Structure 1
Amino acid sequence: MPRYLAGPGSADFQSAWPFPFEEGWSLHRPDEGHRIASSPCLRVQTGFLPNLGSPSRGTWTTTAQKPFGQPEWRATFTGATPLEVLRDFHTELLSLYLEDYLLDDSTPAVEGYLSLLAEGWSHSVWREGKQEFCSKDNLAVLRHWYAGAAQGSWAFHAGFPDRPSERFVWKATFTAGTPVPLISALTSSLVKDQPLTRAVRDLPILTRDFLYFPQGLPARVTPAKPEPQPQPATPPPAPRSGRSR
C-alpha cells in the first residue's frame, strides 16, 4: 500500500512534532484535544484542532509571520494525514526556521515536484495556469497554480477522484508564499519506500483493498512435522514355566 493511503496510524499525534520544547518552543493545550506549538519568537505557530464529528478527525495548521504581523502563508492538513508525512513536513519546517528561511522564499517551484516525476507520476498542464501531478494508481494528486489569481498555491489530495470530496482519505493545502522546500518535504515523504507500521484496524476502511505483499518478501514457511522416530523393538515374551509330562 502506498504510504499516502495508510492513514494516520495509532501513534501519539505529538510524534509529528520534532520541535525542541526544552529549548524554548512552547506547547499549549487551551482545550481538550487542542494542541498548539509556538517558536520562541512566536513567528511560527502550528497546531491541531480536533473535530470528532468529521471523518478527517480535525485539522493541522501551520503559519509563519513577521513580528506583530498577519500570517504570510498557511499550510493545512486534514487529520487523517499519515503522521510520518507530517513529521517530515515539520522537520523541514524546523530546519527552515533555524536557517531563518521561512519568508520570502526564492526556491524554484520545480523543486517541489521533482521527486514525484522521478517516481513516474504523470504531469499535465492546464491553460488556466495550473499543473497537475498524478500517481500511477490515480489515487493521489498534487496541484500547483503557476499563474492567475491563485499563483504560487498548492493542493494535494489522496483518495478517489471520482467520489465526492468528503470521501478523500486526506487533503493538504498551501497558500502562496509557502516555502517550496516544505512542498518538497511533503512530496519526498509521499514516495518514500520505507514501510509504515500499521495494524489493520488503523487503516482507513476505504483503502484496505490496496494492501499487498511487496515482491521479494519471503513466504511464510510452515514448520515441517517431525518424522516419527522408530520405537525400540519389544523383546519376545519369556516362556511360561510349567511341568512337562
Structure 2
Amino acid sequence: MTPPYEVYTPLLTHGWSHQVRTDGIQTFLASEGLGGVRHCYAMPSSSESAWRAWGGYPSEPHWSARFSSGTPTTLVAAFTASLISTEPLQRTVQDVPTQTRRALYIATPTGNQPHGTTPAALPPPAPASGPTR
C-alpha cells in the first residue's frame, strides 16, 4: 500500500504550500493559488472524503474531485502527479477561463503527432546476400 506522503510529496517539491490544522486536516495550495489538495487524515467517519482537490480559486473552483478513505492511495498519488505535470496540453482560448489565463505557460508543439502514439519502428535491415559460413 502506498503511504499518504507519496500523494503530497510531489506537490511540495513543486512549490506548493502546506498548512496543517489541529483538527486533522492538511491543505496544499499551488504557488499561484489556482488549485489545491486537502487531506483529512483524522476522519471521524469512513464515508467522508479523505482527499479533495480543486482547480481555480478555492471559493469558486472550476472543477473538484473527491476521494473517499477507501480509494487506493496509489490512485490519489497518480492524480496529484497529473496536477503538477508540465506536459503541454493543446487548448483553445475558449477552453481556458478568463480569470486563470494569466497563469498559463505557453509551449511550442513539438510536432503533429497525436498524443499517446509512438512512431512506427523501421523494419530490420535485409540480410546480406552472399555465402554464409
TM-score (norm. length: structure 2): 0.70
The letter for the 2-side match of 1:157 is W
Counterpart position of 1:203: 96
Say what the alpha-carbon RMSD is for the aligned residues. 2.0
Alignment pair present for 1:131 and 2:31: no
Q: Paired residue for 1:154?
A: 51
Unaligned 5+ runs, structure 2: 109-133
Is 2:77 the partner of 1:184? yes
Structure 1 residue matching 2:39: 3-state secondary structure: strand
Residue type at the aligned position of 1:131: Q
Q: Which has the higher contact order (CA 8 A, sep 6+)?
A: 1
Q: Pick from 172, 179, 190 the counterpart of residue 65 of structure 2.
A: 172
Q: Which letter maps to 1:201?
A: Q
Contact 1:121 1:134 in 2 (8 A): yes
Contact 1:139 1:160 in 2 (8 A): yes
Per-residue deviation, 1:204: 2.5
Contact 1:128 1:148 in 2 (8 A): no
Report the number of matched residues: 106
Structure 2 matches for 1:1-40, cutoff 5 A?
A: none
Deviations 1:92-149 (A, max 9, x none): xxxxxxxxxxxxxx32111111111111111111111011111111111101111131
Deviations 1:160-193 (A, max 9, x none): 13x3xxx311100011111001111111111111
Partner SS, residue 159 of structure 1 = strand
Q: Percent identity?
A: 41
Tell me the SS of whatever aligns to 1:172: strand
Q: Which amino acid aligns with 2:83?
A: L
| Matched residue, 2:36 | 141
The runs of 5 or more residues in structure 1 that have no matched partner are 1-105, 218-245
**How far apart, in 2, do the equivalents of 1:171 and 1:206 lie?**
17
- In 1, are the aligned partners of 2:30 and 2:36 still within 8 Å (CA)? yes
Decide whether the 8 Å contact of 1:107 with 1:180 is kept in 2. Answer: yes
The aligned runs of 1:1-80 (5 Å cut-off) are none
